[in-house]
Amino acid sequence: MSIAARFQIRRGDFHLDVDLNIPAQGISALFGPSGCGKTTLLRAIAGLEQHQNGYLKINDMLWQNDHHFVPPHRRPLGYVFQEASLFAHLNVQRNLEYGLKRVPTAERKVSLAQAMELLGITHLLRRKPDSLSGGERQRVAIARALAVSPRLLLMDEPLAALDQARKQEILPYLNSLHNELDIPVIYVSHSPDEVAQLADHLVLLDKGKVKATGAISDMLTRLDLPLAHEPDAEALIEATVAAHDADYDLTYLDFPGGRFTVSRKPLAIGTKVRLRVAARDVSLTLAHQSGTSILNIFPATVDELIPEGTAQISVRIMVGGIPMLARVTRKSAEILQLQPGKVVFAQAKSVALLS
């Protein structure tokens, strides 16, 4: 199951030239700086703009080739714009029903109740769009897009117009949507933080070209790509809740490279979680330290090193086959004689848990 998209779009000086093949499941992020062509590509996928010589196939649905163009209203997709763009002449309920009632009953898989529940907007039904907060408006817009039971959900920086508090208000909803509905999502973003929290798959766009594409955990830690060089560079680790320790009030999380210890979380055993480990919180030692307060220590192999300015070095290490990043000084790297293949121990000073 995959999404195949080929577009060549010329607009003045700007030239978008992409040939994409991404899995049609989970959240795929189109990531890149402003003006790299993310929104243009998303609009082309939606069919909002028709471009010559495009090709687009979503699973078994052919939406565009040289002889064939399905207009946007005949494509079973949902689109969330950067601005909520609710219809000002309709109240929340009628906004939600606008798309729903245009979908044949047989194709309705997401109920209005389910969409409203997922986004927590049941209490807003009678309100007019202009009486809602920015965050509420965007939640209604997302529910409205879900209510058409899309087979592909396109989201164009749905959080970019919101302040930090509103973003944090909506992110959990997006995560639950991801877990509860089996709808592939293409998510446009220029925020590394959002991408790390949401995406499973990453497409890196730069100046209208695809620079790299791959699984999020790999893309975040690849030293030939810009994300690993951000000041907040981090690794993502999928782990499973293994046990709780009542005595010390701790939770143990297992991943292929070992076991993380974190302060106790109200999660059932077996729950899958996503951990973020920042590069600057990881230090490397040659021997397993015993006299330390750090609990999360794992055997690792150095995979690659790249200087970060003149004083620091970014190190990609493999922990049980899972890539992680460490940022160390050039001096320490020399003392430890770090080089690819070297066996070390990675100490993670802090770990953040995503839902």
Partner 1 sequence: MFTEADLTALAITLKLALLTTLILLVLGTPFAWWLSRSRCRLKFLLEALVALPLVLPPTVLGFYLLVALGPNGPAGELMQWLGVESLAFTFTGLVIGSVIYSMPFVVQPLQNAFSAIGSRPLDVAATLRASPLDRFFSVAIPLARPGFFSAAILGFAHTLGEFGVVLMIGGNIPGETRVISIAIYDHVEALEYSHAHWLSGLLLLISFIMLITVYALNRHFRLGHTP
Using CB under 8 A, list all residues that contact partner 1.
46, 48, 71-74, 77-79, 81, 83, 85, 87-89, 98-99, 102-103, 128-130, 144-145, 148, 154
- Give the nearest distance from C-beta 47 to partner 1 in angstroms: 8
| Residue with smaller CB distance to partner 1, 83 or 238 | 83
- Give the nearest distance from C-beta 155 to partner 1 in angstroms: 11
- Give the nearest distance from C-beta 84 to partner 1 in angstroms: 9
| Residue with smaller CB distance to partner 1, 100 or 242 | 100
Contact between residue 316 and residue 221 where contact means Cβ atoms under 8 Å apart: yes
| Residue with smaller CB distance to partner 1, 155 or 237 | 155
User: What are 152's strand-pairing partners?
Assistant: 77
Q: How far apart, in Å, are the Cα atoms of 292 and each of 81, 263, 281, 289?
A: 49, 17, 15, 6
| Residue with smaller CB distance to partner 1, 84 or 210 | 84
The Cβ-side half-sphere exposure at 20, using a 13 Å CA radius, reads: 36
- Give the nearest distance from C-beta 86 to partner 1 in angstroms: 8
Q: How far apart, in Å, are the Cα atoms of 8 and each of 50, 53, 101, 188?
A: 11, 7, 35, 19
Distance of CA 268 to the CA centre of its chain: 24
- Give the nearest distance from C-beta 88 to partner 1 in angstroms: 5
Closest CA to 200 of 169, 181, 178: 178
CA distance 2 to 213: 14
- Give the nearest distance from C-beta 150 to partner 1 in angstroms: 9
| Residue with smaller CB distance to partner 1, 142 or 236 | 142
| Residue with smaller CB distance to partner 1, 141 or 195 | 141
| Residue with smaller CB distance to partner 1, 82 or 285 | 82
User: How many other CB atoms sit within 10 Å of the CB of residue 247?
Assistant: 6
φ/ψ of 177, rounded to 5, equals: -60, -40
φ/ψ of 334, rounded to 5, equals: -70, -40
- Give the nearest distance from C-beta 138 to partner 1 in angstroms: 13
Task: Indicate the pairing of strand 250-255 with strand 234-245.
Answer: antiparallel
Q: Is 210 left (phi over 0), alpha (psi -120 to 50) or beta?
A: beta
- Give the nearest distance from C-beta 74 to partner 1 in angstroms: 8
| Residue with smaller CB distance to partner 1, 156 or 281 | 156
* Helix, coil or strand: residue 259: strand
* Helix, coil or strand: residue 221: helix
